[in-house]
Amino acid sequence: MREILPRLHHWTTEHPNLGQAVSSYYVEDAATLLDPMVPEEGLEAFDDLAPPERVVLSCRHHDRDHEQFVQAFGALFHVNEAGVHEYEGEEVQPFAIGDEPAAGVKALANGPIAPDDTVLRIDVEGGALLFADSLLSSDGALGFMPDGLLGEYPEIRSSAHATLRRFVDEQRSAR
């Protein structure tokens, strides 16, 4: 786990079903985990930080290790209201686009892939955006979800591109 911006921590862990590394984040000021998997160091990685109080997913498919954090820390579990149906029987705090499921973490519409595909704007020094599944980082380069995972829907890629451009423009003008 490393601090990539002041009080914003990032780590990657290999996803057992995907066979590739996925990103997780901890927004220290909000005591909020975003799309978390347990780091390689284990839950002890949080010993010197404020304990996580909530888990927020950018889309329902990023549930990863959320249950371990809920159980270990008593964290609340937040999911976009369009994806809550996946968690029947669990205690879930739904959020809508425009809501702040955590202080300084705002849910923005993304949606080219699925109704609950969310961009999370993280209010830290310099600002940060977490894209659910429409934008990926591989070896330091940004790209879109591979065609094999998007299916044969070119409108998804053009919608994702337009959404990315809008967010980048908004982020620049906010500075």
Q: What DSSP line would sit under 127-161, residue for residue?
A: -EEEESSSEEEETTEEEEPPHHHH-S-HHHHHHHH
Backbone φ/ψ region at 58: left (φ over 0), alpha (ψ -120 to 50), beta: alpha
Of 114, 109, 155, which is closest to residue 133 (Cα–Cα)?
114
Beta bridge partners of 175: none
Of 18, 102, 99, which is closest to residue 52 (Cα–Cα)?
102
Q: pLDDT tens, 62-106?
A: 888 999 999 999 999 999 999 999 999 999 999 999 999 999 999
Please state, in angstroms and rounded to a whole number, the distance separating the CA atoms of residues 141 and 133. 15
Q: pLDDT tens, 93-152?
A: 999 999 999 999 999 987 667 788 898 999 998 888 888 776 666 666 676 766 666 666
Residue type, 132: A
